[in-house]
Structure 1
Amino acid sequence: MAAVSHQQVRGRPAHPPGITSLAYTPDGKRLITAGSNDVIRVYATGSTGEPRNIDNCPDNNLAVAATNDFFIAGSEDGSVSMYSLETCSFDKLLTRCPVPIRDLAISPDGQWAAVASDDTEVKIVDTRDMTNVLFLREQPKPVKHVTFHPSGSYIAASCTDGIIYVYSMTKTIPELVKKLDGIIRPLETDVEASACAIWHPDGRALAAPTVTRDVQVLSRNEWEKQRAFSGGHMGDITALAWSPNGALLATAGKDRKILLWETKTQKIVARYDYADVTKLVWHSHENIVSFTTSDGELFIYEDFVAGNNANLLEDALHPAPFIHDPLAETSGNARKGLTNGLKDSDQGYGRRRGSLDSLDDILGPDMDLGGDDFVEDDDGAGYADGRNINGKRTNGHLDDLDILDGKRRATSQSWQPNTHQSFQPGSTPWRGNRRYLCLNLTGFAWTVDQDTHHTVTVEFYDREYHRDFHFTDPYLYDKACLNENGTLFSCPPANGNSAMIFYRPHETWTARADWRTELPNGEDITAISLSDSYVTVTTTANYVRVFTLFGTPFKVYRQKSSPTVTCASWRDYILTMGNGPVGADGWTTLLYTIENIKRDEICQSEDIVALSEGASIKSVFFSDNGDPCIYDSTGVLLVLQHWRTPGQARWVPMLDTKLLERLVGGRKEETYWPVAVAQDKFHCIILKGGDQYPYFPKPLLSEFDFKIPCSTATALEDSEEPLVNEGSKLEETYVRSSLMLSLLEDLVVATNATHSQRADLSRRETEVDKALLQLLNVECRGGEDRGMKALEIVSLMKDRNGKMIELAGKIADRFGRTVLKEKIEELAEKRLMGTEDDGL
């Protein structure tokens, strides 16, 4: 869209030449100006009459900020005065500094006033009680600009050292949460060039002028560079402001230009010729922009946004210009959907009130939104609802923000179930301009958005066996799988092209063996998986498409449970998940099917994925021994036992990460990103600081031993009885060893077992009996009254040759348990004769 120029609007003499400040009241009814004389002017919006003057104010007022009831002005003599808008008169002296005041900001609720001066500290003064003062003291030099987050939870302070200091206001004492270096340039407090960091109205980002005379946007969650408004000004930027709904950005510069930018495209849509602009503000709901100049003139520009661009001001709140919007991108691993036509909160990581990205924080905690049908956003991972089946947010999410300008959409009366959204195991959402496509024990693949194309990198842990590779990606791949044989990619349909899969083997004995296959038009890919034998693709048409490793279509069928959610594979087996019947809570039941593709056999058909209430799947994968595993949002790792026998499968918890000893007593605050189950360990990435996904640089892998949740770690440590503590640990060892033995027995029976597998089977049987012997030893030490349980423990032994039961008798004899020893000998005799019954 080409930028247009406009006719000049005549200025109004407001103050003598010098720095002139202005501020609208939040309701837009009044405009206050202050300048280099001792008069402050109050203009009524829409009135052509003279403004009301407040005389005998301190000279040289350099900053002004307003609420609907009062405004404050800061002068060169260091005083900050409060004035009543009802009487247009002086109310009280709010605070005083020994040096000139440079900038003022008032929190959205009007309680706090931030005062920046030529002193190094910033004062945060309670407007109701001037004796209640907080301080921002982390910056080493004076602060030139201060701005409040739309929720009042943060303050951004632009320091003259060229760093933006971001403080959290959620605690009793302001806490520095981030120092943003390399964005603004060092500027003295008295120069006209601006270094102000302004918050986008949606609260998720701030923008600031850069050394290159651009405006750089930074995300609040990750503090990373996002889109930039560049190539506009030929001189230093002196003022900038978002439109009330964030759809437009206005900037003024020393090149005698005011530029109007569209936020979504970062394109200039209009140019205005005005020189020496020092301050610029938007009206809260009218198409009016007012600005002042160093000549002391005030310009009230009605119909500032002309033509079709004016429609942008009528829209709901626009999102900040992210490279990849975290509200639009997700790994899809959370349960999301609609309840009675209304979007529910993100339950993939537990229900909670909106984060600082949500409307709760934008409007403030006291805003009554009219009931439980208010939309909640979740960042945190957490990401807002309203995505399509590919995990990407539709345009409908903008409608929910109409609440901010007093509008409210009519809610649908038709009931709709809550469905599990599709996701790709091992992938992460966009964070800045990069994301992981795949993370496992073989290696990892990630992509970087270069605007016109992506660049994909694949790295391996074993670089002696595999070589890393890197390529330019014009297809914009968004999913990947990686194993010892090759790498599989897929991309969504775009620019009239169909969705496509691409397989690249690591090594071949022919010249070229990689291949691409396009899916039918209108069909998008929801998940992909790669095994040693097959490529599996699930789609939005609820098809499961299976290919050989050389691209031959092997099988196509429609999944019974729909919409599809995800898939995983191992050797000849594939596991698919989809949405099933609706449960009592309004959520669809998550169902899975496991099939042997080669033998065309169904192992488990549309069985239920066992999840606790409110939990969701974070990842699904096969272990190195080929057992299906899931990791849910509550931090529990589960394995599917007896899955090869139809109707016998059950999900067994192998580890509850919330019960890890490292977390006992709140010593650490961390979560875990699942990677794999291998070598009898859970391999994961430790996430700290509230992160929900791993990020760059390449994260380190950690591993944890399995520990079936039989009793909590806290109970074990606090136990006053050593025998109870030791016995509980041994009981967990027995249950875990029995589970691992069962999984191996199923594998040996179902496959052509190797010698090492059979030897491992014998070893695991011994481990089970060993745990029981140790548990028997604890019981015998506990006293004669534990004899019944001791005999029960002996009866649980596998003991094929009687050796373990013989050792059990020796343990009883050592502790003088004569009766128990006789019972054990009777049990051994019955086993030898094959007459042992189920009871004791």
Structure 2
Amino acid sequence: MSAQQRIRGRQAHTPGATFLAYTPNGKKLITVGVDNFCRIFSTGSDDEPVTVDDCQENNTAVVAGNDFFVAGSEDGTVCKYSLERNKLDEVLVRTSLPVRDVALSPDGNWVAVASDELVVKVVNTKDMTKVQYLRDQIRAVKHVAFDNSGSNLALSCTDGNVYMYSLSSAEPNMIRQVDGMIKSLESDAESSSKVLWHPDSRAFATPTASRDIQVMSFGNWERQRAFKTGHAGDITAAAWSPNGALLATTASDLNLCLWDTKTQKLLKKYDDVKATILAMAWHPKENILSYTNSDGELFIHTDIVPLEHASLLQKSLQPAPFPHDPSEGRSGNATSKLTNGTKQSLPDRRARRGTPDSLDDILGPDAISDDGMDDFVVDDDGAGYAPVVNGHGKRTNGHLGALQSPSGKRRAYGSSFHPEIHEAFQSGSTPWRGNRRYLCLNLTGFVWTVSQETHHHTVTVEFYDREFHRDFHFTDPFLYDKACLNENGTLFSCQPSDSSPAMIYYRPHETWTTRTDWRTNLPAGESITAIALSDCYIVVTTSTNYIRIFTLFGLPYRVYRQKASPAVTCAAWRDYVLTIGNGPVSGDGTCQLLYTIENVKRDEIYQSEDIIALPPNATLNSVVFSDAGDPYIYDSTGVLLTCLHWRTSGQARWVPMLDTKLLDRLSTGGKEESYWPVAVAQNKFHCIILKGADKYPYFPRPILTEFEFHIPLSSLDPKKKEEEVDTMDEDGEDGGKKDNDQSRLEQTLILTTTLHTQLSSALSSTHPTQHQRQALTELEVTIDKTLLQLLGMECLAGEDHGMKALEIVTLMRDTNGKMLDLASKVATRYGREVLGEKIRELAERRLVGLDEED
């Protein structure tokens, strides 16, 4: 070792695990160890360090600001110490189990505490009563690390996953679970899995199970460059230089290595390390790397970077090692190597000037010019590009545009007519955006895939309830493009390729025997248009209009050809299957959508090729069964509809349950948003809110929102009416409030009536449970109570409303006369004696069974 690269070693603490931290200004270096004191070293000074005696024993981590430092210990205590007074300030927080790591936000206001508890605590250093709790991880956390903005926190969990949290809002939000990067380690292991945020904040790195350092970009979560360290043991510590130009790594093989970040090449290797290094830190300004080991020693390694590479530390902030730097783009001046070894620059790609299907890229830069020859085309292949002439040399009318329909769509005539068919789609799936997409989004969890651009994808399945199901991740060489997820398993499908046919793959979550995945290939020539998964069956619709139904164990159960074609989508719930296809052409040239609902187990068809009710120029966005087993559709106009009486042939009708354009949140604040349908459960519409012009959800994982059903009855929301209408009626009553109350009651009446019809239809064809019977009774009571309140309002309105009041009473579902008796009392209370008499007559007629509907 040269004289310029001298190591200054000191016995800082009693032999044992020792840790260190520099202050941000680099003036002081703090160490903690197994003894009950801390040491404060001054940079550039040979004086004895300052000792802080009132400390806990067995300290496991330390972080520092310019005026204070924080240390955590195995007894669960996290203490804050003053660097001005060199003494204990306060105990910030206590944990019931040993502290394993602490991290300080760049502004010094928050400290994150990882312990053997499942919850990570983020405590305010100025007010210990302000605490945030991170709970999404399922096992204890070994390391914590803030990014340079302080708004993101990375947790290295002992389950082998990295959990990314955003702390920019009032409540912490987990934005990403990164698996497959770090090794699963015990919380007290010497090996490290700590996240290393690159100084430019666009990427982070972690030690891997293969003893490398893998870099990943933050935000799009793509794996970037990797440092092939070649360490013979697990990595125990690593650190970026302050400007990000260098990386230092060390491992249990007692080697310390310096790497060039840009090239990932080894610059220097020190193999004279005496004991396992557990922590290392670069000096913020000087060519110094300090580290502590398992023997209680501190080493201040000056001139750590050799002279020939020392200029790297003098550079400004260096970028993270990306193969293709996102800040520079992927379509820069690329070069191609010629056969003679020289390089030739490839021409820059021109930006498209038209729509996404513009021909600019195909025609080239000179295709459109200003020389007056833009319309000069030679029809040298007879394809019809040039004007067509008849046998007399006259130009035909083929150059004339088609007549326009009132809707603005081109109407085709004669042999050129081509109906506009509805494209096939998979509910809950999004298109590619960049290199990733969602294959499935529902209330069970979500499935997403990432294209690795190497003839394979990586698929991740994550669950909302991780107590019952464990997330999993696998490499996908088949390029799955569709998926379904429920409590029983996950279904995938892929399209045919040159070498293999289309395939479906089912993976059950668990069985009472050994879990068995299965795959099956479809006949050659068939591609898959949609798939569905229920508790009992798997449904596949194909390009040849076949509907193929399998049991959950791969046994073929039904195969038949769908009448409505081409197929659009399908859905399934228990024994019920709903399929949708294109049907007859409507007046505007588009195909009507036809649906069929059947019970597969009974081989019974309830609705056969009935029409999906869509408004003009609208498309179907989603088809799902609710948690109660009723079909729902969501169209491009933002309306959610359910199918009533679908179990009775010829009686089905589509009823709107929610119009998202009429939501109260859109009438205030001028919000521009749309909604991505996810599920219908517990009489609520579950969706993802899309801001601005977004059409599909993207990463990080979006938050689900739920809306109550609200059947569209009026142009203004009742809540809005209450705020805007302020009129007084002739009796001095608030007319606006009265109108609002009536609108609210009318909404309750029609919604409850619809839900009652839906539930009673289901109970008539199944064996109802006690809970279902109770729910039906509660709906009937709610209907009668609502009618009773409407009756009161009509009685209050005057005698001339008597006929409407009596009509309201006739709608009551009361069978024992109790509600009719209450209605009579309401009429008497408001002095409507004639109405009261007619209500009593109605009650008597019902009692003797004489009340007949006209």
State the TM-score bracket (shorter-chain normalisation).
0.5 to 0.7
Q: Percent identity?
A: 58
Q: Tell me the equivalent position of 2:702.
A: 699
Distance in 2 of aligned mates of 1:505 and 1:212: 40
Displacement of 1:807: 1.3
* Residue pairs, 1:567-646, within 5 angstroms: 567-646=570-649
1:649 aligns with 2:652: yes
Deviations 1:297-341 (A, max 9, x none): xxxxxxxxxxxxxxxxx99xxxxxxxxxxxxxxxxxxxxxxxxxx
How far apart are the structure 1 equivalents of 2:686 and 2:329?
32
Q: Does 1:807 align with 2:810?
A: no
The match for 1:672 is 675
Q: State whether residues 333 and 345 of structure 2, in contact with CA within 8 Å, keep that contact through their aligned partners in structure 1.
A: no
* Secondary structure in 2 matching 1:431: coil
Equivalent-residue separation in structure 2 for 1:590 and 1:663 (angstroms): 30
**Contact map agreement 1:442 1:482 (CA 8 A) in 2:** yes
Q: 2:664 matched to 1:661?
A: yes
Out of 475, 482, 497, the position equivalent to 1:472 is 475
Give, in whole Å, the separation in 2 of the partners of 1:609 and 1:451: 40
1:442 is aligned to 444
Deviations 1:666-694 (A, max 9, x none): 63111101111101111111110211111
Pairing 1:752–2:767 present: yes
| Structure 2 Cα separation of the partners of residues 420 and 459 of structure 1 | 31
Structure 1 segment 422-821 matched on structure 2, within 5 A: 422-452=424-454, 453-665=456-668, 667-714=670-717, 716-717=721-722, 718-719=724-725, 720=727, 721=735, 722-821=737-836
Q: How does 1:396-435 map to 2 (within 5 A)?
A: 414-435=416-437
**1:497-537 CA-partner distances (Å, limit 9, x unpaired):** 10000000000222232100100011000000000000000
The counterpart of 2:366, out of the listed 265, 271, 284, is: 284
Give, in whole Å, the separation in 2 of the partners of 1:673 and 1:753: 33
Distance change >3 Å, CA 724–CA 411, structure 1 → 2: closer
Q: How many Å apart are 1:714 and its aligned residue? A: 4.8
The letter for the 1-side match of 2:823 is: A
Tell me which amino acid in the other structure corresponds to 2:349.
Answer: W
Q: Extract unaligned runs of 5+ from structure 1.
A: 1-161, 164-178, 187-209, 219-223, 248-261, 265-281, 288-313, 316-368, 375-384, 386-409
Q: Could you say what secondary structure the match of 2:685 adopts?
A: strand
Alpha-carbon deviations, 1:29-67, whole Å to 9, x = none?
xxxxxxxxxxxxxxxxxxxxxxxxxxxxxxxxxxxxxxx
In the TM superposition, 1:310-329 aligns within 5 A as none
Kindly report the root-mean-square deviation, in angstroms, between the aligned alpha carbons of the 2 structures: 3.8
Partner of 2:23: none
Check conservation: 1:214, 1:230, Cα contact below 8 A.
Answer: no
Question: Aligned partner of 2:662: which letter?
Answer: L
Question: Following TM superposition, by how much is the alpha carbon of 1:702 offset from its aligned partner in structure 2, in angstroms?
Answer: 0.5
Distance in structure 2 (CA, Å) of the matches to 1:245 and 1:641: 48
2: CA distance, partners of 1:770 / 1:226: 65
Partner Cα separation in structure 1 for residue 552 and residue 573 of structure 2? 13
SS at the partner of 1:497?
coil
- Counterpart contact for 2:621–2:634, Cα < 8 Å: yes
Structure showing greater Rg: 2
After TM superposition, give the deviation of residue 610 of structure 1 in Å: 0.3
The one-letter code sitting in structure 2 at the alignment partner of 1:838 is E
Compared CA separation, residues 767 and 283, structure 1 to 2 (3 A): closer
Q: Which amino acid aligns with 1:284?
A: D
The one-letter code of the counterpart of 2:366 is S
Mark the CA change 1:684 to 1:237 in structure 2 (over 3 Å): closer, same or farther. Answer: farther
Note if contact 1:529-1:569 (Cα within 8 Å) is conserved in structure 2. Answer: yes
**Structure 2: distance between partners of 1:511 and 1:229:** 55
> Aligned pair in 2 of structure 1 residues 243, 622: CA closer, same or farther (>3 Å)?
closer
Partners of 2:805 and 2:676 in 1: how far apart? 41
**SS of corresponding position for 1:734:** helix
Give unmatched runs, 5+ long, in structure 2.
Answer: 1-199, 202-218, 225-242, 244-318, 355-359, 370-376, 379-398, 405-409, 728-734
Is the contact between residue 787 and residue 809 of structure 2 (CA under 8 Å) also seen in structure 1? yes
Q: Is the 8 A contact 1:213 1:235 kept in 2?
A: no
Q: AA paired with 2:710?
A: K
Please state how far the C-alpha of 1:370 moved relative to its aligned partner: 9.0
Structure 1 stretch displaced more, 512-521 or 537-546: 512-521
Offset from partner CA, 1:577-620 (integer Å, 9 cap, x none) = 00111111111110000010000000000000000111110000
Q: 1:227 to 1:444 in 2, by over 3 A?
A: farther
Summarize the Cα distance change of 1:539–1:805 in structure 2 as closer, same or farther, 3 Å threshold.
same
Task: After TM superposition, give the deviation of residue 230 of structure 1 in Å.
Answer: 5.7
1:161-199 CA-to-partner distances (Å, cap 9, x unmatched) read: x99xxxxxxxxxxxxxxx99x99xx9xxxxxxxxxxxxx
Higher RCO, Cα 8 Å, sep 6+: 1
Q: In the alignment, is the contact (CA less than 8 A) between 1:216 and 1:228 conserved in 2?
A: no
Match of 1:253 in 2: none
Check 1:502–1:212 CA distance in 2 against 1; reply closer, same or farther (3 A cut). Answer: closer
CA distance in 2, matches of 1:283, 1:586: 37
Deviation at 1:808, TM superposition (A): 1.2
Q: Indicate how the Cα distance of structure 1 residues 237 and 805 shifts in structure 2: closer, same or farther if over 3 A, else same.
A: farther
User: 1:216: Cα distance to partner?
Assistant: 6.9
CA shift in 2, pair 1:771/1:470, >3 Å = same
- d(CA) in 2 for partners of 1:533 and 1:776? 48
CA–CA distance in structure 1, aligned partners of residues 832 and 342 of structure 2: 95
Q: 1:780 to 1:215 in 2, by over 3 A?
A: same
Equivalent residues of 1:604, 1:645 under 8 A apart: yes
Aligned equivalents of 1:531 and 1:570: distance in 2?
A: 5
> Structure 1 residues 520, 239: CA separation in 2 closer, same or farther (over 3 Å shift)?
closer
Task: In structure 1, give the amino acid aligned to 2:596.
Answer: T
Say how many residue pairs are matched. 489
In structure 2, give the amino acid aligned to 1:476: L
**Is the CA contact 2:333–2:347 (under 8 Å) kept in the aligned structure 1?**
no
5 Å-filtered alignment, 1:199-278, equals 232=336, 241-242=348-349
- Cα contact 2:331–2:349 (8 A) shared by 1: no
Q: Relative to structure 1, is the Cα distance of residues 534 and 211 closer, same or farther in structure 2, using a 3 angstrom cutoff?
A: closer
Post-superposition offset of 1:495? 3.1
Cα distance in 2, alignment partners of residues 456 and 767 from structure 1: 47
Displacement of 1:776 = 1.2
Amino acid at match of 1:242: R
Offset at 1:481?
0.3
Closer, same or farther: CA 493–780 of 1 in aligned 2, 3 Å: same
Q: Is the 8 A contact 1:533 1:548 kept in 2?
A: yes
In the alignment, is the contact (CA less than 8 A) between 1:216 and 1:229 conserved in 2? no
Counterpart residue identity of residue 419, structure 2: P
How many Å apart are 1:729 and its aligned residue?
A: 1.6
Question: Alpha-carbon deviations, 1:220-269, whole Å to 9, x = none?
Answer: xxxx966777675999999963369899xxxxxxxxxxxxxx999xxxxx
Q: Specify whether residues 805 and 692 from structure 1 end up closer, same or farther in structure 2 by C-alpha distance, changes over 3 A only.
A: same
